[in-house]
Amino acid sequence: MASGLVISVDGMGGDHAPDAVLDGIEIAARKSPGARFLIHGPAGRLTPMLETRPAAKAASEVRNAEKFVSMEVKPSQALRQGKGTSMWNALVSVEEGEAQACVSAGNTGALMAMAMMRLRRMEGVHRPALIASWPTAKGFAAVLDVGANVEADASQLVEFAIMGEAFHRAVRGSKRPTVGLLNVGSEDQKGHEEIRSAARLIREADLDLEFHGFVEGDDISKGTVDVVVTDGFTGNIAIKTAEGTARLVAGFLREALTGGPLARVGALLALPALRKLKERMDPRTVNGAVFLGLNGIVVKSHGGTDGEGYAAAIDVAIRMAKSHYREEVVANLARLSVASTLPPQAAAPGMS
């Protein structure tokens, strides 16, 4: 394999694997001609499938792995029995430095457990977190944690802020992403103690990031900030609630526009516009959640996505791999640890 950018792929993860995975690689390979791919999975099955996907074939190497992780298996079980599966081997390629990032559309719990075991936590990070992209009125926000943990204390929320900010810069190219803490009000005295402490900690630690303060649920879609920080329980509820709401509104719209002959003619005339709307709301464009805080980049694609969606997840992996994400996180974590070793009166002058 040539030197340069290498992405390791779990060829058998996801509801439509391996077809959707290989379709995704075909699209990604055309879009990013410099990238190469290590595809883990049953070579006897995958290699012939590359014949109809010339760009993928030219950019890939298939690594044989006969076993794969099923969507139903529990994380603990996956850890015990997962060795040698396509998912496991895809992670090992990153662990051993053969690839800079790994993409899988497989079982989320299994992927997180295996990634933790093989790649381990970055120094200074206490809890890895899952970050997802979210379409907003202004572009895209990143929201974390969306489900890696069910709880987060103040210092973990601060770590999420640091990792999320670097992620947004890496993937969206924004120079100074703004960061907000998700809360039930924007006033200082609102919400849980952990969130209020996290806000104080960020302000006092002199981190190199643009902290906006608290944001509320409706601020996410407004695009009030680029990075929304919350615990994994709240983040998971928020993102799924938004998905459900978007689907509900789309369903209402469909019903309205097919409800009578005049509406149908109107919809027909407006079809190109409605297609553009659909594109804008397309979950595939925001596919690719990243498991942040490990010694290596792990991207989780939605299990039910197609080639286009899978290519978007690969694109996230490529952007992360090309960025200075790791260095930026390390630098900000160092600032944080300096702040937390200062005597309290220096760190919190208001309280002395």
Binding test (CB under 8 A) with a second copy, winner from 1, 58, 184, 338: 184
* Binding piece for a second copy, criterion CB under 8 A, among 19-27, 35-43, 239-247, 343-351: 239-247
229 binds a second copy (CB under 8 A): no
Q: Which is nearer to a second copy, 85 or 234 (CB)?
A: 234
Binding test (CB under 8 A) with a second copy, winner from 128, 177, 191, 288: 191
Binding test (CB under 8 A) with a second copy, winner from 52, 70, 245, 337: 245
Binding test (CB under 8 A) with a second copy, winner from 249, 334, 338, 346: 249
Q: Which is nearer to a second copy, 187 or 208 (CB)?
A: 187
Q: Which is nearer to a second copy, 134 or 211 (CB)?
A: 134
338 binds a second copy (CB under 8 A): no
Going across the sheet that includes 289-292, the strands are 60-64, 36-41, 6-10, 101-104, 297-300, 289-292, 129-136, 139-144, 227-229, 178-182, 210-215
Q: Which is nearer to a second copy, 34 or 251 (CB)?
A: 251
Across the strands, what pairs with 9? 39, 103
Q: How many residues bind a second copy (CB under 8 A)?
A: 60
Dihedral of CA atoms 332, 337, 190, 132 in degrees, nearest 10, equals: 40
The set of residues, in sequence order, having a beta carbon less than 8 Å from that of 77 and lying 6+ positions away, is none
**Residues making contact with a second copy (CB under 8 A):** 135-137, 147, 150-151, 182, 184, 191-192, 216-222, 230, 232-234, 236-253, 255-257, 259-260, 262-263, 265-274, 276-277, 280-281
